[in-house]
Structure 1
């Protein structure tokens, strides 16, 4: 029996994904009709990007699951017309990219690379940075991405603390949870990395109060979600020296408006949402694995908890 798979994303993404998806379907032995145009009542699976024109899922009466191409689901999880299972993207390629980006920027701050390399005054100044084992790094968010980044930093010798809303276990990481745990985790974070999802419970988790809990001169790295940070509070903390620097890859409005203070602030590094990108080949394999599972009557992987928002 042919499985009908609707690709509901922008046309330019179809050009990227069509080949890898067909290859993954063939490799899995799935007889599939893959297209951007299938009658709603005939669709079995929806491969989806939240910026798709498809926003009303009501007509898709036969569909078994929506398979998101993005790691973030905040733009779809609240859609009241979506009644079937929603799977978020946990892409090995994306995870690897995030690990490399986070590790690179943690090392940049840890080693003081900006200070050592960006010399304009011809001064020879010898400075010995601490060893990794002398540096506390905190990861807020110990899901798939946060855990992978934490394990990479542990392997380098850093003292890593992880925090999540619910109890988690990550090898080599001191995992904390809850409100008390958040305060403790922030107090340990000479470098803090934000990898929480965007939910009402996590919005502005970095605010005037939580910034004050961090060690004076701490650094913040945010490759997670823009709304995790109260921008005005971060700017104030940078100006008074409570926070020594911030590297920000995500923002409330993207592209970051040209008049935003982050652009000109000497202690802020702006990167254009490049920390991690879904890779078409590996992401297609994840999508097809869920199609295989659906057809075999097995549980889907990476299912979204609608109540938690991720």
Structure 2
């Protein structure tokens, strides 16, 4: 007897915890990777992260695609997408995980840990007098579900926090501004810039050489959203010249970062392998199951993305 099945595709997420979470939430649905599928599987749903080209064409009965993450840019421009709803994850646990990464990166610069790391490599006792958090201006570029939580957590620690977004937002403890006309002034008053924007046609290389030069000399950059929001060659030039005093980078225009990439050897760069926030089966499975139930009952799915906008 045919059973409704979710087909799973991800090169980075293990299937076992997703199977455990989803099959517990939906006992009448199976989760299978493509090699596991049989004639008994009626594939109606897909749970994916950067599936291979042509992936969706094999499943003509699909009714819902769920992205294993927040960003939808990996599916934009594909020719094999069926005309079905595409949903992203909206998981508070993911937002908290991202906030912890941003807090780590901001505190590392605000407390001069990068300076002490360099001194340790040289076996130098190098004292830098600590500064109050309120004297460090942190700007969060992008105040969506992830960026908004990060900005609020930073404000709670007493940093001087400003935030920029495409449309107006209000957050406790955060000075907010919006619209492209306000971006230059926002950058000029930011000592530590946190990039939390989705990748869209409008945000691709938004931080180009001109805008990076607007930051105060020696400013720090943290990018945990998408690599292509920043013009990588322009960023490297700014890091070499000292216009940027340092960068913490979790995302890149090409991933994995090639072994011969110049970013590997810059002493003022910290590289992490795109793990600032990941989808968590234990908490996100309930959202996926709820959307499948909504679809079955004829209700619109939640957290639907618009690929023409990129989110």
Normalised by the size of structure 2, how large is the TM-score?
A: 0.88
CA contact (8 A) 1:161 1:173 kept: yes
State the partner residue of 1:149.
Answer: 150
Shift of 1:293: 2.3
User: Which stretch shows the higher mean deviation, 240-249 or 75-84?
Assistant: 75-84
Shift of 1:39: 6.7
CA contact (8 A) 1:67 1:88 kept: yes
Taking the aligned partners of 1:44 and 1:309, their CA distance within structure 2 comes to 24
- String of CA shifts for 1:186-227, please: whole Å, max 9, x gaps: 112100011111112111112110011111110000111111
State the partner residue of 2:83.
Answer: 83
User: Which stretch shows the higher mean deviation, 177-186 or 100-109?
Assistant: 177-186
Taking the aligned partners of 1:21 and 1:303, their CA distance within structure 2 comes to 19
Shift of 1:229: 1.5
Q: SS where residue 158 of structure 2 aligns?
A: coil
Q: SS where residue 263 of structure 1 aligns?
A: helix
What is the aligned-residue RMSD (CA, Å)? Answer: 2.5
Matched, 1:65 2:50: no
Alignment of 1:218-233 (within 5 A): 218-233=219-234
State the partner residue of 2:281.
Answer: 280
- String of CA shifts for 1:85-144, please: whole Å, max 9, x gaps: 110122333222111111011000011012235434555443222211111111111111
State the partner residue of 2:107.
Answer: 107
Unaligned runs of 5+ in 1: none
Taking the aligned partners of 1:263 and 1:122, their CA distance within structure 2 comes to 22
Q: SS where residue 23 of structure 1 aligns?
A: helix
User: Which stretch shows the higher mean deviation, 69-78 or 211-220?
Assistant: 69-78
Taking the aligned partners of 2:297 and 2:160, their CA distance within structure 1 comes to 43
Runs of 4+ off more than 6 Å: 38-41
Taking the aligned partners of 2:214 and 2:5, their CA distance within structure 1 comes to 49
User: Which stretch shows the higher mean deviation, 195-204 or 72-81?
Assistant: 72-81
State the partner residue of 1:8.
Answer: 8
Residue from 29, 37, 41 that aligns with 1:32: 29
Unaligned runs of 5+ in 2: none
User: Which stretch shows the higher mean deviation, 48-57 or 240-249?
Assistant: 48-57
Matched, 1:204 2:205: yes
CA contact (8 A) 1:8 1:52 kept: no
Taking the aligned partners of 1:6 and 1:40, their CA distance within structure 2 comes to 13
State the partner residue of 2:250.
Answer: 249
Taking the aligned partners of 1:8 and 1:123, their CA distance within structure 2 comes to 51
State the partner residue of 2:266.
Answer: 265
